[in-house]
Amino acid sequence: MKVAVVGATGLVGTKMLQVLAERNFPVTELLPVASERSVGKEVEFKGKKYKVVGMADAIAAKPAVAIFSAGGGTSLTWAPQFAAAGIRVIDNSSAWRMDSTKKLVVPEVNAEVLSKDDFIIANPNCSTIQMVVALQPLHKKYKIKRVVVSTYQSVTGTGKKAVDQLFGERIKAEKGGDTAYPMAYKYQIDMNVIPQIDVFLENGYTKEEMKMVNETKKIMQDENIRVTATTVRIPVIGGHSESVNVEFENEFELNEVKAILASAPGVIVENDDAAQQYPMPLNAHDKDEVFVGRLRRDETQPKTLNMWVVSDNLRKGAATNAVQIAEYLLSKGLL
């Protein structure tokens, strides 16, 4: 099976190659694809070197699937051309997520919406993915009315430049001098918290916050779920954390909630107060699961649960989710 990874030299593209190898996706020929300035460079996959090719050459090679992580503009231009050539596209950008003609998929939640007619499939926003994986099994049982979420997001969600800024600031603080580093953010991120992810919209929310609002409804196929979000960048790598307050229509028992989550696909419950055990990005780093803990009843109003949700944003929040979509397509004979 020929597989193209578009944006193969970037932070997420590199992680996609790693995940494809780790999960033993049946790649018989890899086509690493990147911008023209990267053509001819080499990437490594399963111990072999592969030369980076351009978009047109990748389409001509007719891979079965192309996993995109190259930005929204690139996806808008090139994904339809891959699809027109009969190549299934799984796109990690925001380009197609809210397009009514495209499916927005988290396999544990709504893989069944996919059909043979879907040639451009959208991968959701990283912070949305981990939240809906935790919410879906509870929604089935208790029916969610409202979600209030605050995120604590890793700098890896911005990209390599942000990681370089964080460590550049840290080295400068420790050693002083004229350490040079890029500025991915307007402000210092080390020893700081920035309550803005993406641009501000007219309603005062950021684009990232509204992604969580709109994508959650589309993935969970319920326009009646009310979501409000505050998204924040913090100086960590390894994963995104979320404080999630969930109001249900039906009453719940805490022990039953724990049992439902413990048996849910893709979820690991870490919830032991006595042992001070709870999810942290340090422990979620380089893992594919969504970790849930700090489960407790909201004592200020009925039928409401507080939970803490952590996941590696480059893996389940991006690369792993995309590969899982490809695995599902393969299992249904669509690749």
User: Which are the catalytic amino acids?
Assistant: 126, 240
In what side-by-side order are the strands of the sheet with 88-91? 29-33, 2-6, 65-68, 88-91, 120-122, 103-104
Q: What is the CA radius of gyration of the chain?
A: 20
| Number of Cβ atoms within 10 Å of the Cβ of 282 | 11
**How far apart are alpha carbons 204 and 228 in whole angstroms?**
12
Q: 126-142 and 254-262 are packed helices; what angle lies between their axes, rounded to 10 degrees?
A: 120
Q: 126-142 and 207-219 are packed helices; what angle lies between their axes, rounded to 10 degrees?
A: 40
Question: Which residues partner with 167 through β-bridges?
Answer: none
Among residues 256, 251, 265, the alpha carbon closest in space to that of 143 is found at 251
CB 298 within 8 A of CB 306: yes
